[in-house]
Homo-oligomer: A and B are copies of this chain.
Amino acid sequence: MPAQRRLHLGAFMRPVSIHTGAWRYPGAFPDANFNIAHLRRFIRKLEEGKFDAFFMADHLAVLNMPIEALKRSHTVTSFEPFTLLSAFAGATERIGLVGTASTTFDAPFHIARRFASLDHISGGRAGWNIVTTSNPDAALNFGHDEQTEHAARYRRAREFYEVVTGLWDSFADDAFVRDTASGFYFDPERMHVLDHKGEHFSVRGPLNIARPVQGWPVIVQAGASDDGRQLAAETAEVVFTAVNSIEAGRAFYTDVKARVEKAGRSRDHLKILPGALVVVGDSLDEARETRARLDGLVHEASAIAALSIALGVDASSFDPDGPLPEVPHTNASKSGRERAIALARAENLTVRQLAQRLGGYGGLSFVGTPQTIADAMEEWLVTEGSDGFNVMFPFVPEGLDAFVDKVVPELQRRGIFRRDYEGTTLREHLGLPRPPNRFFPDA
């Protein structure tokens, strides 16, 4: 292990907390998810904490829950990623800005252009979280009767990525000569017309924007199935994963890093960042109390709805006090189903217990003091459970402020997190190379 290995930290927000009780916590801002003034404050605080990036999840429909749960969800109204991240670009100077965009319900030309534009506007801080969209209700908002089948979504995603990166390479970096004397604005020899014709897309190009500052915005991937991992290994530079334990983390890390090498890439060029809900207290008891109080704000209807989403089946007919029954395979998220089943087995949870955990946030979580949290993060780093984390805050502003003011200094003291930004682009923060232009390898 080289001595200088350090954590990479993203903040995973949508655009605030994942926890469904977050907006009700005493002192939290109930409108935080949807108040641009609050959000500007949060992104600046993250930058003060030297985070690599703000990660914005995204969904193309209101979450598919029963109305009893939906009406309690603060995520029902949310900003759209491109508009919000572009607004953030002007409010910050260094922090990376990662937006989620679906390959199932958008066009490669639009996605290539918007991320290129965001990358230029932010001076090289954009990242694209490629998702295939698991919420079946999204399909209904885009003229489809039902969600496309899982493997087909991933095939489309792979080709979508090829087209987008090809469009980003439309111009060599030195194409724009802007010679006022001759009147030549750019050199057409340094422009490439993609002319892509594939299974899903036919896109001529070129893109009508210069190559992004970073060459390509950083590619992020969040699917966890076999197809998802393979797409990550071939394309991603950051994997955002949901693993529940350090053992699961190490297994995932080993598997995906091996796939990366098998795909002919350097294992260092893909960073694995599990999501982790971090609840900070001055004592262990205080932190645990906060978590318990927060989970207590989750309504049972939301809890059962979350369980249904995770399993891909309606869980409201299950006996709440019984164990989790056999659950059939569906066309929704495979990894979510496996995670839920594993959690129920591992902790021997009833349906209600499982639902309440998932309804708040059922994934990996560090609940403790700045020291115990830093201990845990260091262990993950040192034992190759991960390359860092996508931190989730239990509520804002307090949960976020506590992390930046208390946990970050402890990580810095240990030498496992930067004291200041060393570069200006997201690639530089992450230690990733700038990809060469495939059509102009010399430039």
Chain B residues within an 8 Å CB radius of A162: none
Chain B residues within an 8 Å CB radius of A208: 59-62, 76-78
- Does A48 reach chain B (CB closer than 8 Å)? no
Q: Is the CB of B24 within 8 A of A183?
A: yes
- Does A171 reach chain B (CB closer than 8 Å)? yes
**A 270-303 binary contact with B (CB < 8 Å = 1; else 0):** 0000000000000000000000000001010000
In angstroms, Cα B61 to Cα A302, docked, is: 45
The stretch among A85-93, A259-267, A385-393, A431-439 that forms the contact with chain B is: A85-93
Chain B residues within an 8 Å CB radius of A118: 83
- Does A355 reach chain B (CB closer than 8 Å)? no
Chain B residues within an 8 Å CB radius of A184: 71-72
A171 to B, closest residue via Cβ: B77
- Does A180 reach chain B (CB closer than 8 Å)? yes
In angstroms, Cα B62 to Cα A188, docked, is: 12
Chain B residues within an 8 Å CB radius of A246: none
**A 156-191 binary contact with B (CB < 8 Å = 1; else 0):** 000000000000000100001010100111111000
Q: Which of A79-121 contact B (CB under 8 A)?
A: 79-80, 82-84, 86-87, 89-91, 105-107, 109-110, 113-114, 116-118, 120-121
Number of copies: 2
How far, in Å, is A303 (CB) from chain B's closest CB? 12
**A 374-399 binary contact with B (CB < 8 Å = 1; else 0):** 00000000000000000000000000
In angstroms, Cα B203 to Cα A141, docked, is: 4
How far, in Å, is A80 (CB) from chain B's closest CB? 4
**A30-B178, A180-B30 known; A209-B71 Cβ under 8 A:** no
Q: Is the CB of A36 within 8 A of B107?
A: no
How many chain A residues touch B (CB < 8 A): the figure is 68
How far, in Å, is A250 (CB) from chain B's closest CB? 36
Q: Is the CB of B183 within 8 A of A72?
A: yes
- Does A19 reach chain B (CB closer than 8 Å)? no
Indicate the member of A77, A82, A110, A187 with the most B CB atoms within 10 Å.
A77
Indicate the member of A61, A72, A87, A89 with the most B CB atoms within 10 Å.
A87
A211 to B, closest residue via Cβ: B77
A142 to B, closest residue via Cβ: B107
A301 to B, closest residue via Cβ: B183
Q: Is the CB of B105 within 8 A of A107?
A: yes
Q: Is the CB of B176 within 8 A of A210?
A: no
In angstroms, Cα B24 to Cα A188, docked, is: 18
Q: Is the CB of B30 within 8 A of A114?
A: no
Which residues of A line the B interface, CB within 8 A?
23-24, 30-31, 34, 36, 40, 59-62, 67, 70-74, 76-80, 82-84, 86-87, 89-91, 105-107, 109-110, 113-114, 116-118, 120-121, 137, 140-143, 171, 176, 178, 180, 183-188, 201-206, 208-210, 297, 299
Q: Which 6 A-B pairs have the closest CB atoms?
A: A86-B86, A80-B117, A140-B204, A83-B117, A83-B86, A90-B90
19 CB-based A-B contacts, threshold 8 Å = A23-B178, A40-B90, A62-B208, A74-B185, A76-B208, A77-B171, A78-B208, A79-B209, A80-B117, A82-B86, A83-B114, A87-B121, A90-B90, A109-B142, A140-B204, A141-B204, A142-B203, A183-B297, A183-B299
Q: Known pairs A72-B183, A80-B117, A140-B203. 11 more at Cβ < 8 A?
A: A24-B180, A30-B180, A31-B178, A59-B208, A70-B188, A79-B121, A80-B113, A80-B209, A83-B83, A87-B89, A109-B142
